Structure 1
């Protein structure tokens, strides 16, 4: 008989318990990504204050104890009582899901945090959270443990800890705000410090300082004039005088008593009068009445012993952002597109009685886009709604690309004779990929209550934004690409030349697609004559060795296992495809042979499922020239067969540099070393153990100096060899490295070599 199932088997999670039970629903994951997402939620709230014109400075402090504090000089979370719940605004914001000022139109016209769950979710997933609010001439304070309000008994108030005794407020009772001291009447701001709960985040969760810096930098690009300071107390560096202007909280000896139910009672504090405001220390900002708030900062940042401090502020907006993202030689200047328009949208409005009613409202959409073309081939498009990045794009990106493609095609048709484009050839048509090659763009829109797909806000779904962005881009970009706007004629000609060049290269690549397709055993006769292929039927284990030079090829033929190991020799250093066009690459014998032998195509048409080999192994000499050949090969794989690297199929063979012949009782045995340092250490070890060896130590100048047995044992036999897999964990960073090391711009490469010469680590080669 089945077990009885009744209402008593149902569970009802109240308040923030649902967040702790299913954190992935709110922050995506409980690893490093979720850990960083919590910080973005708190930081975005402060940035929203800046977007509203109420905040000029934000300070993010990474404390020694692992806690994080975000401070701003915005308006401060409301401290008065919210009528419906009977709780202060602070407690509502930090304990109630879907609560906040961003569901209406009055307080935030454009904001990043719109679901009303950000701060409360961070609170729920923190072992401790403290909030301080400067309003009405005093500093208000409230503390939380795993989302529940109450108070802590810290033995040292200057060093709060989540391990301190906690007194939870009685259930269904409001928690009064503590008053910590007085501030000036015009001083406002919010400081939130939280400790991520180890019970929630798994062991792999790690905080990324670089992600924080990248996020802060991009935010200051998107909010011109906003200053964001990042303080890392775990790294000692020189002090920063800019922090001397941080506000100081007036000390007070007035007693604060605690009632048995956990509520806190003010021990007789009086509100400061206007004379207190006049007597507070003034900063330079007070001279401007629009910026009368003093700078907010964590308490630890007000001491003279500052830690690592990085300050970010940009005034050029998205123009500066595109300039920062650009690599390589520019084909055009930075083109700027901006405008505004309105649209109608039906939304649910919260009435005075708390009920939702449908109404149609007029929204304003602000568009701000910067773009330029460079001589590279990669595309960099960063998109944002307000200040929230949308890596998945959405309606704003679709509208932008649609308009750019339409205007470029019109311009190509209008200039067909100069560009030598045959419009009667149906195959000759500019595709979006031709336009995107080398394009760097930042697309931003500012709208009220945007519709995102999910809490992580990866894609914008507000449909009316697309035609607005498209219309504004159509009009302004059209004037630029046709050269009718003053100063754009020469630039537009260069851009069109590049796009048409990409189109011709794509068409030529398509025509060679049959040559680069996968070859089976029956087609092996059409392969390059210098290929020594392996036996068919071993696709799951087949290996292609790209061998440097014909001399090494002879030895490798005798050393390989022809059942599954193929050999393709190359002559020295191949073409640097980072500097060459697609047509130049395809016309190069070595590059075209490699693409043909791999058999999976190249560029956008690359299909890893068609690859003839499971592993691609670069086998070059263990010297500087060998390393140079490997980087040239890697550049070819990265630019035109990137899927091989992403799938972990590209390897570098690791041949030895020395062979030590043992003597005495161990005569006939050999040891191999791979660097001079390893050789010295190995010889010292042999002497200390009393093992005899021949003083005539063989040093290999190249692969050709090995005999077949030696090459097989050290470099080719899967049972004894050592391979180094080429990895690519960050595609954007990898693209920057290839452009720096292999591109046309020499001065940055020279400076990189100078800056990193002292820290060179040979073990990092090919990793």
Structure 2
């Protein structure tokens, strides 16, 4: 085989943005939905950087009905004058040159998210068309691009630009003049970028996510207090000129919890048009809030003018003033163990960096950086961890140095506080296993960790992890000092809260230790041989794990009947004494010290909380078998609260059931003597009796009414409630975990007024069929 010729003519040089189009994954990660959304984040982050610099207070994101996206801000506007080195306008430099921008120095942006200088230019390269308008110096400047190359489009209808319109590319290496298309007030500045993602780049699976956009916009509004962000979706049918569209606006106040703003009186009497989002509410800015600027980048509207009118049905607007405190309040689900705690401050560090001199050359020099830290945290009653971290409003899902410093600080102080309060918390310091681990601390923690620094070092263009090492000791020292005052209770107003937090963390530690001990015991045979199971457990025979059932039975009297009614080869029985502890109100340590709760967790055999492992569960079904009365229903709710809080995967996998015992037994007479009909409600009883009368079937007038499971004979209990061939079970499902959490907190938590209001509000909606009897 002849050798291939390999010389200089075999090399390919990709100039300008061609390299981006050839290897887009290097810049946006992927060319699927993730990469499509990443392009939008790059453009939005540039506008947010203007807000961080104090030059912008309103950003508008418009989803046009032709598939394009427009981002407008009322910032300073991209420079339109000539950049000396390239002899190109600032607009063309920003949109066509990689690693070009005002964020490599420290004069224009002290803290910014887009620091690699590739954001706008990469989006331009990966767009079939991009149009930009800049308001500066009393004029509106315009420039257009096709796949990253500047030029001029000849749109048949200028009001409806299209990437398919004829395009004349500017000659290579020749500057493109900015077109002046209008005049504005000398005080009006801003930038508007509209782009069409190139289908030649993004694959067929790439889809735009409106939900991701709203989550990102909401998140940004928390992180930049006072910044109003409006999202307009033109894909929703127009509602007419007189419609005031739905506005989702949350306006928090620094130092207090944020809540959704109360809907204001509508500016016009017309009702919302059909199809308008029912969950959204119209709202007006609080006193002193910045009014939304016009979408065209003009001057801000008069705050007294009320909500801005938009011609489309889906408009969502976000504005927060409480910062990360409001963010933590928004993220918190479930009952709060503590208030929202705040860690804030600034410190400096030295860093060696490459600086650009007057001649455009790079030289190493040491600079002093300022690191601003703003952290909000609280604990809620649960074991899920919700932690969000940011650097200059850019989210870092992988964490990094700022998160490491925060976790090091709180871990150190919590361990110290536990040691100082070991006697009260019942912690044996001589036992080496009783040591608080980080997982114990993270259970139920809701935290937002943010830092603002100039020129942060990220790992990769997608900025998932902060790599600036000097940030970690700064955050650790600040957390160590301020959080230490809170968790020790030395700071005024924190003593009671810190006590509850420490009890929760120590409870998580005990649960973890207990779970480890449980896993060390082999599953069924060895567990029974070691006599570690509760003495009242009537277990089933080993070897039937895939069909094994655990009946949790109310009372010892019902247990005796159930023993005779069960199939001992696969049905186990565990009696409980009446109503168990309400774990929604109790702490973790109180739950673990409760004999009934501890016995249920031990018998299920899969641990509890974050350490729960459904693969280790000893039974395929867990069935609550309680009396068919109000007390029985209450016991089922208490049991479900225990399962939801500490063994949630059982419910998520559909392995929790409620037995449905009958209320009545009708004994037939005459030719049908010896036959029985069971009914499960008073309405069903009346209907069955009417049917028997209509069919002239005789029955005993003495209808048996079961007051409890213990009144049944074994054969009756087996036929109606326990035999898989004839019984009826009700499977407990959890379609919406978040809604379920709210309902459990409402109905079973400590806060009485909301529960009372719920009862009052729903009193008129009484439906007997909805009652679990």
TM-score under structure 2 normalisation?
0.71
Q: What does residue 239 of structure 1 align with?
A: 244
Distance 1:712 1:756 in 2: 38
Q: What does residue 6 of structure 1 align with?
A: 6
Distance 1:197 1:705 in 2: 67
With over 3 angstroms needed to count, the CA separation of the structure-2 counterparts of 1:375 and 1:727, relative to structure 1, is closer
1:345 paired to 2:348: no
Q: Where do residues 152-551 of structure 1 align in structure 2 (5 Å cutoff)? A: 152-233=153-234, 234=236, 238-239=243-244, 294-295=299-300, 305-414=311-420, 426-485=432-491, 488=492, 490-500=493-503, 502-504=505-507, 506-507=509-510, 510-511=513-514, 513-515=516-518, 517-521=521-525, 523=527, 533=540, 536=543
More displaced stretch, 634-643 vs 140-149:
634-643
Deviation at 1:631, TM superposition (A): 7.8
Distance 2:111 2:206 in 1: 32
Distance 1:213 1:241 in 2: 14
Cα contact 2:36–2:202 (8 A) shared by 1: yes
With over 3 angstroms needed to count, the CA separation of the structure-2 counterparts of 1:337 and 1:10, relative to structure 1, is same
With over 3 angstroms needed to count, the CA separation of the structure-2 counterparts of 1:30 and 1:319, relative to structure 1, is same
Q: What does residue 129 of structure 2 align with?
A: 128
Say which SS state the counterpart of residue 110 (structure 1) adopts: coil
Deviation at 1:190, TM superposition (A): 0.5
Distance 2:759 2:164 in 1: 48
Cα contact 1:348–1:356 (8 A) shared by 2: yes
TM-score under structure 1 normalisation?
0.71
Distance 2:635 2:12 in 1: 64
Cα contact 2:133–2:143 (8 A) shared by 1: yes
Q: Where do residues 740-755 of structure 1 align in structure 2 (5 Å cutoff)? A: 743-745=749-751
Distance 1:440 1:333 in 2: 11
Q: Where do residues 653-672 of structure 1 align in structure 2 (5 Å cutoff)? A: none
Return 5+ residue gaps in structure 2 as ranges.
Answer: 249-288, 292-296, 302-306, 662-694, 698-705, 710-715, 767-773
Q: What does residue 678 of structure 2 align with?
A: none
More displaced stretch, 456-465 vs 153-162:
153-162
Return 5+ residue gaps in structure 1 as ranges.
Answer: 244-283, 287-291, 658-693, 717-721, 761-767
Distance 1:159 1:642 in 2: 53
With over 3 angstroms needed to count, the CA separation of the structure-2 counterparts of 1:232 and 1:409, relative to structure 1, is same
Distance 2:35 2:411 in 1: 37
With over 3 angstroms needed to count, the CA separation of the structure-2 counterparts of 1:413 and 1:714, relative to structure 1, is closer
With over 3 angstroms needed to count, the CA separation of the structure-2 counterparts of 1:651 and 1:329, relative to structure 1, is closer
Q: What does residue 269 of structure 2 align with?
A: none
1:582 paired to 2:588: yes
More displaced stretch, 139-148 vs 7-16:
7-16
With over 3 angstroms needed to count, the CA separation of the structure-2 counterparts of 1:384 and 1:749, relative to structure 1, is farther
Cα contact 2:458–2:466 (8 A) shared by 1: yes
Deviation at 1:90, TM superposition (A): 1.8
Say which SS state the counterpart of residue 104 (structure 1) adopts: coil
Q: Where do residues 719-734 of structure 1 align in structure 2 (5 Å cutoff)? A: none
With over 3 angstroms needed to count, the CA separation of the structure-2 counterparts of 1:154 and 1:566, relative to structure 1, is farther
Distance 1:582 1:303 in 2: 51
1:146 paired to 2:160: no
1:33 paired to 2:34: yes
Aligned-residue CA RMSD in angstroms? Answer: 5.0
Deviation at 1:208, TM superposition (A): 3.3
Deviation at 1:428, TM superposition (A): 4.8
With over 3 angstroms needed to count, the CA separation of the structure-2 counterparts of 1:544 and 1:39, relative to structure 1, is farther
Distance 1:241 1:644 in 2: 40
Q: Where do residues 70-109 of structure 1 align in structure 2 (5 Å cutoff)? A: 70-109=71-110
Cα contact 2:134–2:190 (8 A) shared by 1: yes
Cα contact 1:135–1:189 (8 A) shared by 2: yes
Say which SS state the counterpart of residue 514 (structure 1) adopts: helix
Deviation at 1:346, TM superposition (A): 1.2
With over 3 angstroms needed to count, the CA separation of the structure-2 counterparts of 1:705 and 1:82, relative to structure 1, is farther
Deviation at 1:189, TM superposition (A): 0.4
Deviation at 1:449, TM superposition (A): 0.8
Q: What does residue 607 of structure 2 align with?
A: 601
With over 3 angstroms needed to count, the CA separation of the structure-2 counterparts of 1:533 and 1:31, relative to structure 1, is farther
Distance 1:373 1:548 in 2: 34
Cα contact 1:381–1:439 (8 A) shared by 2: yes
Deviation at 1:641, TM superposition (A): 4.2
Distance 1:483 1:557 in 2: 54
Distance 2:33 2:746 in 1: 29
**Paired residues, what number?**
660
Deviation at 1:609, TM superposition (A): 5.6
Q: What does residue 672 of structure 2 align with?
A: none
